[in-house]
Amino acid sequence: MREQLEAIQAEALERISQTEDMKELQDIKVTYLGKKGSLTGVLRGMGKLSKEERPVVGEIANKVRESITAALDEKNEKLEQLQLEEQLEAETIDVTLPGRPVKVGGAHLLSSIVQELEDLFIGMGYEVREGPEVETDFYNFEALNLPKNHPARDMQDTFYITNELLLRTHTSPVQARTMQEYKGEKPVKMICPGKVYRRDTDDATHSHQFTQIEGLYVDKNVRMSDLKGTLDTFAKKMFGEDREIRLRPSFFPFTEPSVEMDISCKVCNGEGCSVCKGTGWIEILGGGMVHPKVLEMGGYDPEVYSGFAFGMGPERIAMLKYGVNDIRQFYTNDIRFLKQYHKA
């Protein structure tokens, strides 16, 4: 009987190893282990064995069953694996077809620039302040050392609504309002971004509406060299570490001394080209030390406090940094324009 069992085992294992088919494997299982299977058949004959032989043969029979079962399971797993692989192979798709589209929006280039500037100055300890776009003559002009009839008022052609109300021509009134709010009691360190308006005819370089960001720092012992260092930090972060800055004297009624800041031309690296009109420098912003009258009107004693202020135009920055050559593009909202810069 032992021989019989061993023969069954050998035969079964042989057949299991040969088969590559699930159905056949199932048949093999039935053939050997099923109710009418050959192993079962052999075991039925156990009753004829002696008491002594029975456990020995039983043990062998169990081992045979276990080995066949294990071989069946192993083969089964292997075949299932193969089957799955085959099935997955059949499920191959065209990966070059486009993905299911997701509508992608984005920020306007000027918003991106304003946000970048806000974050840059927040990092240097500035707060962001905002103010009304319709301003009083007082905050837009008088509080900034531009009394009525001041010749410099011609520099800014203004949209008036009434004699006293106007569309702000710069964001400087926010500075005046902030100083008044702080009552000369604590330092002011702020930037103010926003829309401004001038009585200009729209063309490639003029827009009756545009954006501005101004900064103001008032404290005890503020030096002009601090303005220079601050602007240098800004220019390098905004335009690249390899940019140089240069300050030139200028004139604004609300600052004294006043400066105009140029950065070295990126196109020619300061050598002189058509972009910088051969000078090697490009004008970026204006600023200066806050005029004592402006400090005074803001409630700050110019004997105790000093400060610097600066103002720049995000449109100009965008035009230089991204090569936009017509300011009207910012307000036309051509999708082809917006898409170019929505990740800027």
Partner 1 sequence: MLVSYNWLKNYVDLGDLTPEELAAKITKSGIEVESVEYVAEKSTDVVVGYVESCEQHPNADKLNLCQVDVGDQKLQIICGAPNIAEGQKVAVAKPGAILPGNFKIKKVKLRGVESNGMICSLKELGIEEKYVPTDLADGIFVFPEDATVGENVDERLNLNDAVLELDVLANRADALSMLGVAYEVGAILDQPVQLPEEAVTVIDEENVKSYISVEVEAADLNPYYGAFLIRNVEIKPSPLWMRNYLMAAGIRPINNVVDITNFVLLEYGQPLHAFDYDKFDSEKVLVRRATEGETIVTLDDQTRTLSEKNLVITNGKEPVALAGVMGGANTEVTAETKNVLLEAAYFDSSSVRGTVKQTGLRSESSTRYEKGVDPNRVKKAGSRACLLMEQFANGKVAAGVAEFDELDRSGKTVEMDINQINKRLGTEMKPDEVISILKRLKFEFEQNGTVFSVQAPTRRRDITIFEDMLEEVARMYGYDNLPFTLPQGASQAGALTQRQSLKRKVKNYIQGVGLMETLTYSLTNATDMKRLVSPEIREQAVAPVALAMPMSEEHKYLRLSILPELLRALAYNSARNHANLGYYELGSIFICDEEKVSKQPDEKLRVSGAITGKWLEHPWQQEKKDVDFYLVKGIVEGLIDHLDLNVSFRQAKIDDMHPGRCAVIEMNEQVVGFIGQLHPALAKEMDLKETYVFDVNLEEVFVAYEDIPSYTQIPKYPSIARDIAFILDENIHAGDVKDLIEEIGAPLVNQVGIFDVYQGANLEEGKKSVAYSLLYQHPDKTLKDDEVEESYQKIIEAVHEKFNAYVRS
Of residues 268-287, which lie at the interface with partner 1 (CB under 8 A)? Answer: 279
- 122: tokens are 């927040």
Q: Which residues pair with 180 in a beta bridge?
A: none
Minimum gap (Å) between residue 112 Cβ and partner 1: 9
63 binds partner 1 (CB under 8 A): no
Which member of 49, 251, 266, 267 binds partner 1 (CB under 8 A)? 251
> Which of 266/342 has CB closer to partner 1?
342
Cα torsion for 216, 218, 224, 228, to the nearest 10°?
-40
Of 221, 242, 274, 323, which lies in the binding site for partner 1, with binding defined by CB under 8 A? 221
Please, is 32 exposed, middle or buried when counting C-beta atoms within 10 Å of its C-beta (0-12, 13-18, 19+)? buried
Q: Are 316 and 110 within 8 A, CB to CB?
A: no
Q: Interface mask (CB under 8 A) for partner 1, residues 20-39, using x and -?
A: --------------------
At residue 78, the 3 state secondary structure works out as: helix
Instruction: Return the structure tokens found at 17.
Output: 């190893």
Give the residue, chosen from 223, 240, 269, 301, that forms a contact with partner 1 under the rule CB under 8 A: 223
Nearer Cβ to partner 1, position 142 or 226? 226
To partner 1, the closest distance from the beta carbon of 16 in angstroms equals 45
Query: Which one among 125, 185, 241, 274 touches partner 1, defined by CB under 8 A?
Result: 125
Q: How far is the CB of 159 from partner 1 (least distance, A)?
A: 5
Closest CB 248 distance from partner 1, rounded Å: 6
Report how far residue 37's alpha carbon sits from residue 226's, in angstroms, rounded to the nearest whole number: 98
Q: How far is the CB of 94 from partner 1 (least distance, A)?
A: 11
Read off the DSSP letter of residue 152. G
Of 18, 106, 203, 204, the one binding partner 1 by CB under 8 A: 106
| Position 100 contacts partner 1 (CB under 8 A) | yes
Q: 60: closest CA among 125, 7, 116?
A: 7
Number of residues that bind partner 1 (CB under 8 A): 90
Query: Contacts with partner 1 in 151-210 (CB under 8 A)?
Result: 151-152, 154-155, 159-162, 165, 167, 187, 189, 195, 197, 199-201, 208-209
CA distance 172 to 132: 11
Q: Quote the least distance from Cβ 17 to partner 1, whole Å.
A: 46
For residue 160, the 8-state DSSP code is B
d(CA 86, CA 90): 6
CB of 135 to partner 1, least distance (A): 7
Options 7, 30, 134, 275; binder of partner 1; rule CB under 8 A: 134
- 267 counts as binding partner 1 under rule CB under 8 A: no
Output phi, psi for 249, to 5 deg: -65, 145
- Indicate the residue among 32 and 126 with the shorter CB distance to partner 1: 126
Residue 27 contacts by C-beta under 8 Å, 6 or more apart in sequence?
none
Residue 211 to residues 193, 325, 329, 343: CA-CA distances in angstroms? 7, 16, 14, 20
Neighbours of 50 (CB within 10 A): 8
Q: Which is nearer to partner 1, 9 or 264 (CB)?
A: 264
Per the CB < 8 A criterion, the answer to whether 210 and 169 are in contact is no
Q: Which is nearer to partner 1, 130 or 326 (CB)?
A: 130
The three-class DSSP label of residue 49 is coil
* Residue list 307-336, contact with partner 1 (CB under 8 A): 330-336
